[in-house]
Structure 1
Amino acid sequence: MTGDYLEIDGSIGGGQILRSALSLSMVSGRPFRIRNIRSGRSRPGLLRQHLTAVLAATEVCGAEVDGAQLGSQTLDFQPGEIRAGDYRFNIGSAGSATLVLQTLFPALLHGPASSRVRIVGGTHNPAAPPADFIERSWLPLLRQMGAQVDFRLLRHGFAPAGGGEIECEVAPARLTPLHLAARGEVLEQRALALIGNLPGHIAERELQRVARRLRWPQEQLHQRAVASAGPGNILLLKIACTDVCELFSAIAQTGVRAERVADQAIDEARAWLLSEAAVGEHLADQLLLPMALAGGGSFTTHRSSAHLESNIQVIRQFLQTDIRVEPLSDTRLRVTIGSTA
């Protein structure tokens, strides 16, 4: 393998460092070497989800790769030309299908023709954006930036069984800057508890908690049973505003009461609502890379995070991009992305 490699320290964050590096490498054509992949995690190195992202990126751009094995903590990646195609990737576990999609998405936007990608794995995972978030929060903003994309959730997949599937069709597009100073007027508030192979009273208790703490009326509370390979439950809180739609969620886990699951989503939603910021913590992190590729953009958010800070570091390594984080108040800060060239 040849080329001048960007040296990336994977210890500054988790799997997101690898995913952002893959996305940026495919689009920019710059090879990279990442060491200490997920070194601070209980299971360091590449898990199936991360390995799938690497192998998928390799296929999409014809890359040369060294270190693409489960558990590897070092990876060399030299991208080739992005190729349009009809792709299907199977994580082989409940690893997040949405995170693999987000890794590939920038490259598919820069492809020579439209592509379709199907990914089998987890669609509703702890510590990953659920498929509903991709569909209702992230992609609508990408469409405002010029993306032409269709997304479908084909099957629900909860951890640990997985078996879910998503499909995305992406046309080549040039992203344009987007500025989100405020969220606008609240237009809709809706809670949805999804249940797969579990008793319905779990969803009922979560929704009762939402009603009590957020004072949302009964007509805004919904539950739905879904087909899935294994048991699972997620609470989704949708808050649609004039300029942005936020979706806060919490996944049921063994030994955690339904009320506590609901509290996790409620606490996030309340913190965002009280801040008057445009986007929440997770959406903020996931807008950085598209805005950098668009050549500019800005948004307000209610808190910084380790993900946001580590993502900024990786983007700066690949692109001549100035990213500024400015506090506006105790509960609001502004992130501005713009080229320094």
Structure 2
Amino acid sequence: MIEIDGSEGEGGGQIVRNACALSLVTGEPVRITNVRAKRSKPGLMRQHVTAIEAACAIGSATCEGLVVGSSDLTFRPGRVAAGDYRFSVGTAGSTGLVLQTVLMPLLLADGSSRLVLEGGTHNMLSPPFEFIERSFLPIVRRMGGQVEARLVRHGFYPRGGGRIEVDITPGALQPIECLTRGEALGVSACALFAGLPMSIAEREIAVVRKAFDWSERECFMRELPVDQGPGNILLLEAKFEHVTEIVSGFAQLGVTAERVAKTAVGRMRGYLACEAFAGPYLADQLLLPMALAGGGVFTTVKPSEHARTAATVIERFAGRRTRFEQQAGGAHAVTIG
């Protein structure tokens, strides 16, 4: 049995998600102690419980310590079975993080699967649906896995109630190199809002246009039905020939629209100032599929502690080391396997 101290590295929920996914793929049981020890509320939260329940459902697995607040769990995998699955977080917990747990095992299963995931689709501290659809999944498809995702209903924190549907057709994952972005194809800024004044979105867009001098056609607002809110997210997108980067800013109580927009602008500026292929969040997501493909290489901005922790967990299960090497110009080359 593989033993993992959940307080190591960044000490968050990604350790649990990656460990369960890798356990299903490799057949190795795992025990995790000190779960999410470095978070303000340690232990499993509702979205982590749902993610592990989903892993148990698709892989005939069992898990001891599977309750909200638990800091110690033991996961024993079975055989992953393709099928139609529906999982509900029950709160605004992230549907994207549940998908992160089960996607790779189902891509390596013996048949096609369909997932319906209900909960939060646009949450702080997790990738919004647009990032999954436009940034991450296109790379997975380049590697050989066929995955299509649809956003049926938005779900903002704290209300939730969102729904995404995902179709997964297995394919042999192949190592790829993602070194350059290719030709710049366009940029955009979209301020989504529901159940909140339009002026919030207008102020966010104003900050973006001033910062980047993007045109009126490239910057727009979209009002969602009131019953999908209250909520607001600013999405900045930079599309290139080989990759699309999406950064986001989430509205929070007590945080001005200008500050939300400036945070997103700062993140996009950091990405555009570097010639690396992947932003920090995409870099986190690419490690697992590339390891399961047998290797791969990509360039990224400065690797996060999140990515380095994921690399350590992957090595424990798959035996594949990840090298982070700084290059001239500030980019880093990340080589798996």
Aligned to 1:158: 156
CA contact (8 A) 2:153 2:228 kept: no
Over the matched positions of the two proteins, sequence identity in percent amounts to 50
Distance 1:90 1:229 in 2: 16
Aligned to 2:325: 326
Aligned ranges 1:149-298 → 2 under 5 Å: 149-227=147-225, 228-298=227-297
Aligned residues between the structures: 334
CA contact (8 A) 2:85 2:114 kept: yes
Aligned to 2:56: 58
SS at match of 1:137: helix
**Amino acid corresponding to residue 248 of structure 2 in structure 1:** S
Aligned-pair distance for 1:211?
A: 0.4
Aligned-residue Cα RMSD (Å) equals 0.9
SS at match of 2:321: strand
Distance 1:330 1:317 in 2: 32
- Could you state the TM-score of these two structures normalised by the residue count of structure 1? 0.96
Q: Residue deviations 1:9-47, cap 9 Å, x none?
A: 111220000000011111111110000001121211110
Q: Residue deviations 1:157-190, cap 9 Å, x none?
A: 0000001011101011111112111111210101
More displaced 10-residue stretch of structure 1: 223-232 or 118-127: 223-232
Distance 2:123 2:92 in 1: 8
Aligned to 1:6: 2
Distance 2:150 2:12 in 1: 27
Aligned ranges 1:28-177 → 2 under 5 Å: 28-177=26-175
Aligned to 1:310: 309
Distance 1:100 1:291 in 2: 19
Aligned-pair distance for 1:112?
A: 1.4
Q: Residue deviations 1:117-150, cap 9 Å, x none?
A: 1111100000100001001100011111111111
SS at match of 2:185: strand
Distance 2:49 2:14 in 1: 13
Distance 2:168 2:137 in 1: 11
Aligned-pair distance for 1:230?
A: 2.9
Moved runs in structure 1, 4+ residues, more than 3 A?
none
Aligned-pair distance for 1:229?
A: 3.6
Aligned-pair distance for 1:330?
A: 5.6
Unpaired runs of 5+ in structure 1?
A: none
Aligned-pair distance for 1:322?
A: 2.3
Unpaired runs of 5+ in structure 2?
A: none
Distance 1:174 1:23 in 2: 17
- Could you state the TM-score of these two structures normalised by the residue count of structure 2? 0.98
SS at match of 2:49: helix
Q: Residue deviations 1:241-282, cap 9 Å, x none?
A: 011111111111111111110111111111111111111010
Distance 1:160 1:287 in 2: 28
Q: Residue deviations 1:210-237, cap 9 Å, x none?
A: 0000111111001101134430000001
Distance 1:250 1:299 in 2: 25
Distance 2:327 2:114 in 1: 41
